Amino acid sequence: MNSKTFFHQTTPPRPPGQGRAFVAILAGFVALTLLWQAAGLITDWYWFQEVGYERVFLVTLTTQIKTALLFAAVFFALFFGNLSLARALSRKPFFEVREGTIVLPPWKMGDRAIGGLILLASLLFSVFAALQGAVRWESVLRFLNATPFGTPDPLFKRDIGFYVFQLPLLNDLYGWLMGVLIFTLLSTLLVYLLRRAFVFMPPRTVQVSPAARAHLVA
């Protein structure tokens, strides 16, 4: 038997209805989440209407929707874009697998299956990103309607209003974006792992495909 063998991109048969069941469960979970949010909005609307502050409610709701859409769009662009790039760069096998080489996972996910998984995961996590954006509506309004205090700080010569109204949101956005980038990096690594862009040669050698290495360090 030849000591060198190539692994092939074979897609294992998928049980009938498995994909549809997963999509149905995912859609149901998202629907329940949105219904929960809608119930809270309806309750708030009746309360604001009762006290005569409908305009306050509408401004709040509009800001929440815009912020939610912005957060969802940014997350989807980063997450779906990087994972789709990883999928495209790992369509073909990269390595000769020799005796003693450990290839993980022992099975290989097909291109179509992983494409659907990437899309579903991107949509699902974008919903959570939208919810994270919606709860920041108050910080966004403070940022957009910042009022200068007329007193600069002695060190950086910035108006005190910047630290009260704008800096908190900037710090919050920085932390959120760093979290998204780390999560996207880990998810991209998972895609490359599922596509066998890594091979392990005991005891300590790890080989990474050139395309995966260039993508991950870019």
Q: Exposed, middle or buried by CB within 10 Å (0-12, 13-18, 19+), for 122?
A: buried
Encode pLDDT of 161-205 as tens digits.
999 999 999 999 999 999 999 999 999 988 887 777 776 666 666
Residue 113 corresponds to which amino acid? A
**Cα gap 94→103, rounded to integer Å:** 12
Nearest C-alpha neighbor of 22 from the set 115, 107, 121: 121
pLDDT reported for residue 180: 96
Give the chain's mean pLDDT: 79
pLDDT reported for residue 157: 87
Position 150 pLDDT exceeds 80:
yes
Nearest C-alpha neighbor of 19 from the set 129, 85, 109, 128: 109
Which of 48-52, 67-71, 89-93 is predicted with the least confidence, judged by mean pLDDT? 89-93
pLDDT reported for residue 99: 59
pLDDT reported for residue 3: 40
Q: Give mean pLDDT, residues 141-166.
A: 90
Contact 108, 9 (CB under 8 A): yes
DSSP state of 4: E
For the chain, what's the residue count? Answer: 218
Higher pLDDT, 128 or 107: 128
Contact 204, 102 (CB under 8 A): no
Q: Strand, coil or helix: what is 82?
A: helix
Q: Give mean pLDDT, residues 98-103.
A: 58
